[in-house]
Amino acid sequence: MRCKRWQRAKHPAPKAGIIKLLFAPHTDRAFGLKAFPMADTIQKYKDYVMTGFLKSVAPIVIDRASGVTVTDIHGREYLDCFAGISVVNAGHCNPQVVAAAKAQMDKLVHCSSYLYHVQPVADLAEKIAHIAPGKNLTQTFFGNGGAEAIEGALKLARLYTGKHEFISLQASFHGRSWGALSVTGNYARKKKGGPYASGISFAPAPYAYRSPWPNDPEECARQCARAIDDIVKFATSNDVAGFIAEPVMGEGGIIVPPFNYFKEVKKVLDHYGILFIADEVQSGFARTGKMFAIEYYGVEPDILVTAKGIADGFPLSAFTASAEIAAAYKPGDHLSTFGGNPVCCAAALANIQFIEKENLAARATETGNYTMAKLRELQKKNSLIGDVRGLGLMIGIELVKDAQKTPATVEAEAIRDACLCKGMLIGVGGVSGNVVRFQPPLVITRQQIDQALAIFTEALQEVAQPAHATA
């Protein structure tokens, strides 16, 4: 097996046998290390970097990246359709973002943005107030990563409401810290870390494809919203501070709630005085074709949590609330040493300006619709594809073995690995690990989409018909 992209590149693709070794994790023989000078970095990872929590780290050493292209230390190029886990929406090393960060680095890297006033923090918070859905979300706290922002949002909801419980969704993911894991609805992410916080209940995800209403998503949404009412009545002590949900569920397998879902949910929340925390860590910043995915649903969250795409790769996160809710924080209640790092905030501001100027939201819609239409054509010819779904460039391809929708987990991983061999980075997610995730930088061109689709089709055919692949 040789891949076309690699044939064109300076270095030829490894032969099939080597590829097998290449994907044998944690073995000394891993991909004939001697043949690849990048073995040094891989060996150091093995010796000095904690990776035991992963099945394997992809056996490439990345050197640089630009736009949608990632280059390894041998000069081999990869089409990046995962964007560093859905982060670099404005493209890798976007020149305008990098220039803003460099200019800020020459002036001030850190002096703790909560002890003193720093201009990029003020400017970015003002910008977020302007782009956040609705008129009420005006005050922002900045942290460093998604989980940290989730923790802060949960705490703020409790302080404001004076209540203590939360409702979250099955199949959700909110981060790896203890509080964020407590509201994460997937035992695969939580195992060995429990027991978690008490007072958390999980409502069914509005996952039409695997619900009893696969052909009636609106009914699925109504039933799932109704279940929240039952949960408040029968699984809580009616002391619920907040309902937390991803407007499009990322790690759970790109689950797009039907468009009536959050309006139905909001009726229940308002009835019980429960805050709505929208986790837009993965779906925010034009990824889904709107600046924030919740805009599709016609409801306003009480707290908006963001990270990932906020600064095009610089580590920054935020949660944003109304002035009234934000006022629940009193002196001593919260802080972060690095939160609101001036370099990250300057990068974020340039990033948002770029997203707006280049209208990346509209581009995500256009290229996303094109991609999904092509994938649905492919689905008609290949029964391994059970469902194609998404919004903008947050696309999931759910793989199933049969008409009973048995998750095709091994196949999803094999497709991801085959794509890597062919020069494309792609993700895998879903509670059963059977959803291929297509979440490229939003600057991806139509030509690059076509290349990506060609690589994916080839990989799919090889995995679906292994006999042909080795012929």
Ligand X SMILES: Cc1ncc(COP(=O)(O)O)c(C=O)c1O
Q: Which residues contact 246 (CB under 8 A, 6 or more apart)?
A: 169, 172, 173, 174, 252, 278, 279, 280, 281, 282, 283
Q: Give the footprint of ligand X on this chain (CB under 6 A).
A: 85, 145-147, 150, 173-175, 246, 250-251, 279, 281-282, 307
Query: Which helix H or strand E contains 114, and what residues bound it?
Result: none
The residue behind tokens 């490439």 is 60
Please give the Cα distance from 413 to 417 (Å, whole number).
Answer: 6
Select 284 or 423, whichever has its Cβ closest to ligand X: 284
What is the DSSP code string of 113-157? TTTS--HHHHHHHHHHHHHSSTTT--EEEEESSHHHHHHHHHHHH
Residue type, 342: P
Select 283 or 451, whichever has its Cβ closest to ligand X: 283
In our burial notation (b when 16+ CB lie closer than 10 A, e otherwise), range 378-402 reads bbeebebbbbbbbbbbbbbbbbbbe
Least gap, CB of 306 to ligand X (angstroms): 10
Least gap, CB of 254 to ligand X (angstroms): 11
Asked, as a colleague might, if the bond just before 133 is cis with ω within 30 of 0, I would say: no
Select 156 or 455, whichever has its Cβ closest to ligand X: 156
Least gap, CB of 344 to ligand X (angstroms): 13
For 62, the token pair is 């990345």
Select 255 or 464, whichever has its Cβ closest to ligand X: 255
Least gap, CB of 86 to ligand X (angstroms): 7
Output the CA torsion sign for 174, 131, 225, 328.
Answer: positive
Least gap, CB of 148 to ligand X (angstroms): 7
Select 146 or 392, whichever has its Cβ closest to ligand X: 146
Please give the Cα distance from 164 to 401 (Å, whole number).
Answer: 42
Q: Which stretches within 236-337 are classed as H helix?
A: 261-272, 323-326
Select 125 or 150, whichever has its Cβ closest to ligand X: 150
Least gap, CB of 147 to ligand X (angstroms): 3
Three-state DSSP at 320 gives strand
Please give the Cα distance from 196 to 425 (Å, whole number).
Answer: 34
In our burial notation (b when 16+ CB lie closer than 10 A, e otherwise), range 165-186 reads bbbbbbbbbbbeeebbbbbbbb
For 388, the token pair is 């194609």
Instruction: Tell me the residue number closest to ligand X, measured at CB.
Output: 146
Least gap, CB of 150 to ligand X (angstroms): 6
Q: Which residues contact 312 (CB under 8 A, 6 or more apart)?
A: 87, 88, 89, 90, 91, 94, 97, 347, 348, 351, 354
Least gap, CB of 29 to ligand X (angstroms): 32
Least gap, CB of 250 to ligand X (angstroms): 4
Select 176 or 226, whichever has its Cβ closest to ligand X: 176
Least gap, CB of 146 to ligand X (angstroms): 2
What pairs with residue 234 in β-bridges? none
Select 145 or 199, whichever has its Cβ closest to ligand X: 145
CB 458 within 8 Å of CB 8: no
